[in-house]
Amino acid sequence: MKNRLKVARAEKDLTQEDLAKLIGVSRQSINAIESGRYVPSTVLALKMAQVFGKPVEELFLLEDDD
Amino acid sequence: MKKNYLFPHQFRVIGWVLVIVAVVGYLCLPEFQFKMPSLYFDTFFDDENEGGFFRMARTNSLSIAMVLLTIGLLFIGFSKEKVEDEFVHYLRAQSLIWATYVTAALFIVATLLIYGITYIYVPYLVFYIFLILFIMKFRIEVHRFNKGGAQ
């Protein structure tokens, strides 16, 4: 799974720490998700979509091997 | 989904205190003994020849140290992190699986290689080794992600 969190964060001018606080996780979790080492739960993905005002599909994209 | 079986974050400090008390206490008073109610299931250890299923028996500081060590290690390993989110849960689960495999491997090696009465120590040690391996692995994983990619 690919994600566009970094870009979305840059557009909104949010740091990892800011985003983490907004959705109630640690900065490390945001880092792990952005780097593709951790796939977030649906709840977390929806919360991020809410923060960025975008549909989930614009933040997270399936890859061929998923 | 919100349910978990973890202790509050502050319990980690209590856990360390218990572990230190257990280790220091046992090293300082290894011979300390007292009596407490016990269950006798067989007469093999019946050194006092009193008979009966339920009675007072001698207990030593090692027993107390083992109890404190067990509780302490549980508190250290299973207290919530400051931010206990799903990623931390994931790291915790991975560390538990890892610790289970490594402990199982050690148990197999010990079972094959250790012969005789010494083997009675193995089950006790395996339990503590499991908890200690889990704690180490989990802390390393958390530390790795605390360090990684500061921004």
pTM: 0.84
CB contact (8 A) between residue B87 and residue A16 = no
Mean pLDDT of chain B: 87
- Which pLDDT tens digit goes with each residue over A15-65? 999 999 999 999 999 999 999 889 999 999 999 999 999 999 999 999 888
Pairing of β B33-39 and β A2-3: unpaired
Band (B7; pLDDT cuts 50, 70, 90): very high
Reported ipTM:
0.84
Residue B149 has pLDDT above 60, yes or no: no
Residues B23/B28/B32/B38 CA torsion (nearest 10 deg)? 0
Q: Give the C-alpha separation, A22 to A46, whole Å.
A: 12
Q: Does A24 touch chain B (CB under 8 A)?
A: yes
In chain A, residues 37-56 whose CB comes closer than 8 Å to chain B: 38, 40-41, 43-44
Write the pLDDT tens digit of every residue in B84-129: 899 999 999 999 999 999 999 999 999 999 888 888 889 889 999 9
In chain B, the DSSP E strands lie at 33-39, 54-60
Q: Are B77 and B131 in contact (CB under 8 A)?
A: yes
Is A28's Cβ below 8 Å from some Cβ in B? yes
Q: What is the DSSP letter of B51?
A: -
What pLDDT was estimated at residue B150? 46
DSSP one-letter string for B9-22? TTHHHHHHHHHHHH
Distance from CA of A44 to the nearest CA of B (A): 9
How many angstroms away from the CA of A6 is the closest CA of chain B?
11
